[in-house]
Amino acid sequence: MYGIARLMVGDMRLQFPEQGFLKRMRIYLAEMYPIPIRLLSSALLYLSFAALLGRIHGVQIQILSPFTLVGVWSVFALGLILRLMDELKDKDIDQKLFSHRPVPAGKVFESDVWFSLVAVISLYVFANIWVPAALWMAFFLLKYSLLMFRYFFIPDTLRKYLLLNVATHNPVVPIMLTYILVLFSADHGLSLRDLDWHHSLLTIAAYWAMFFAWEISRKIRSPEEENEYVTYSQIFGRAGAVLIAGGAQTISFVVGLYFYSQLSFSGIFLAILLLGYGVTMWGHARFLLNPNPVTSKLKPFAERYILIILFANVLEHTLFQRGWQL
């Protein structure tokens, strides 16, 4: 624990925030991490993933169980931790290229971000103490996040090479999903040996693919938008970057079809899956056929695709629990 705290704080000299701290952080959260939306999406992610695991293992999930509350909070807290860490990691880049953001614009102090980071990490650890069976995985997830914060102690290399950066940072997603899997097993009294690892890992891969596609999509630009900020469209070309994002989304789509067939999902699930995938692929095609600053906004398509799949899984779980097969 001491090692984690030392790594987290580093050379920082933390000062108690002044009276305007809450006001400044409200501004920050509204712009960078809107709580209602993030809390809802965290709940949707956890419940969707747990519901699919429940279907795989033949158990019913309890929406209001203490494990669910810890899981939803942990997903929400981790997202906020990573957001606050990025604020500190990328302060020089943001000052140069994104000066409108709260910290470089002076709306929020760097000390505010530090104080919030320490507070959220403390609350994350406190919540997970109540689930001893999953605490080791919660700490592993936190330690990996802290390594990301320190750029794995090779900051110059990772800042220089975008692909190496994503290769070291993006695995936090499957680690977080594995944490949910461990929490799920503790909730239902299943040992890790009892888990259906084949289908569980397939589920992790499908969810990871969607978030990987989001990571690629948010750094794709049209030719007139490109600048010194390194994007995947610069590295792979416009078509190459879109192919990678679309390929990852296709993986999740195919896994969804597999579960529809193997687990006897409803026709409603299939219809939602087809709709989400079709709209997302249309967004890619529109950009490739007519690249401009409007059509290049593929991030919202990636986000909607994730939300549609999460919603489809929760809805399927609800229908199955009530005995409806449509």
**CB-based contact 143:52 (threshold 8 Å):** no
In a domain, 11, yes or no: no
State whether 34 and 165 are in the same domain: yes
Number of domains in the chain: 2
Domain span at 81: 1-6+19-191
State whether 26 and 138 are in the same domain: yes
Taking only the tens place, the pLDDT of each residue in 31-72 is 999 999 999 999 999 999 999 999 999 998 887 789 999 999
Give whole-number Cα distances, 204 to 58, 175, 211, 297, 301, in Å.
18, 9, 11, 26, 21
In a domain, 12, yes or no: no
Q: What is the pLDDT of residue 240?
A: 97
State whether 181 and 202 are in the same domain: no
State whether 109 and 166 are in the same domain: yes
In a domain, 14, yes or no: no
State whether 280 and 254 are in the same domain: yes
Taking only the tens place, the pLDDT of each residue in 103-153 is 988 899 999 999 999 999 999 999 999 999 999 999 999 999 999 999 999
**CB-based contact 23:53 (threshold 8 Å):** no
The structure tokens 């919030």 sit at 116
Which residue in 258, 264, 253, 250 sits closest to 316, CA to CA? 264
Give whole-number Cα distances, 200 to 78, 177, 178, 180, in Å.
22, 10, 9, 11
Task: Quote the crossing angle between the two packed helices 132-149 and 110-129, to the nearest 10°.
Answer: 160
In a domain, 13, yes or no: no
State whether 30 and 178 are in the same domain: yes
In a domain, 306, yes or no: yes
State whether 122 and 261 are in the same domain: no
In a domain, 178, yes or no: yes
State whether 153 and 221 are in the same domain: no
State whether 107 and 175 are in the same domain: yes
The last residue of a domain, from among 162, 191, 220? 191
* Amino acid occupying residue 17: P
State whether 66 and 136 are in the same domain: yes
CATH of the domain at 253: 1.20.120
Q: What is the pLDDT of residue 8?
A: 45
Q: What is the pLDDT of residue 2?
A: 40
Phi, psi of 313 (to 5 degrees): -70, -40
Contacts of 307 (CB under 8 A, 6+ apart): 41, 44
Question: Per-block average pLDDT, block size 10, for the chain (326 residues)?
Answer: 45 50 93 95 96 93 88 97 93 81 90 96 97 96 96 90 94 98 94 94 98 97 91 96 98 97 94 97 97 96 96 90 64
The last residue of a domain, from among 172, 191, 210? 191
Q: What is the pLDDT of residue 7?
A: 45
In a domain, 114, yes or no: yes
